[in-house]
Copies of this chain bind each other. A is one copy, B any other.
Amino acid sequence: MTVEQDLQNLNEALSQSAGFLLSQASRLLRERVETALVPLRLSLYEYVILRLISLEAPMSQGDLGETYGIDPTTMVGLVDGLEGRDLVQRQKDPADRRRYKLRLTPKGRKTLSRAKRIVNDSQSRFLEPLAPPEWEQVRACLWKLISHAQSKHIGTGEKT
Q: A27–B69 contact, CB under 8 A?
A: yes
CA distance A3 to B157 in the complex (A): 12
User: Hey, which chain B residues are within 8 Å of A135, CB to CB?
Assistant: 18, 141
CA distance A18 to B24 in the complex (A): 13
Q: A129–B150 contact, CB under 8 A?
A: no
Counting CB contacts under 8 A, is A16 at the interface? yes
Q: B18–A22 contact, CB under 8 A?
A: no
Chain A, range 139-160, C-beta contacts under 8 Å to B: 139, 141-146, 148-150, 156
CA distance A30 to B139 in the complex (A): 19
Give the shortest distance, in Å, between A54 (CB) and chain B (any CB): 9
State how many copies of this chain the complex holds: 2
Counting CB contacts under 8 A, is A25 at the interface? yes
Given A29-B19, A127-B18: A141 and B137 interface contact (C-beta under 8 Å): yes
User: Hey, which chain B residues are within 8 Å of A3, CB to CB?
Assistant: 58
Give 26 pairs: A residue, B residue, CB < 8 Å, sorted on A: A6-B58, A7-B57, A9-B56, A9-B57, A10-B55, A10-B59, A18-B126, A18-B127, A19-B29, A19-B30, A19-B119, A20-B68, A21-B146, A22-B142, A23-B29, A23-B68, A24-B68, A25-B26, A25-B146, A27-B69, A28-B146, A28-B149, A28-B150, A137-B137, A138-B141, A138-B142
Interface residues of A (CB under 8 A from B): 3, 6-7, 9-10, 13-30, 32-33, 52, 55-59, 67-69, 119, 123, 126-130, 134-135, 137-139, 141-146, 148-150, 156
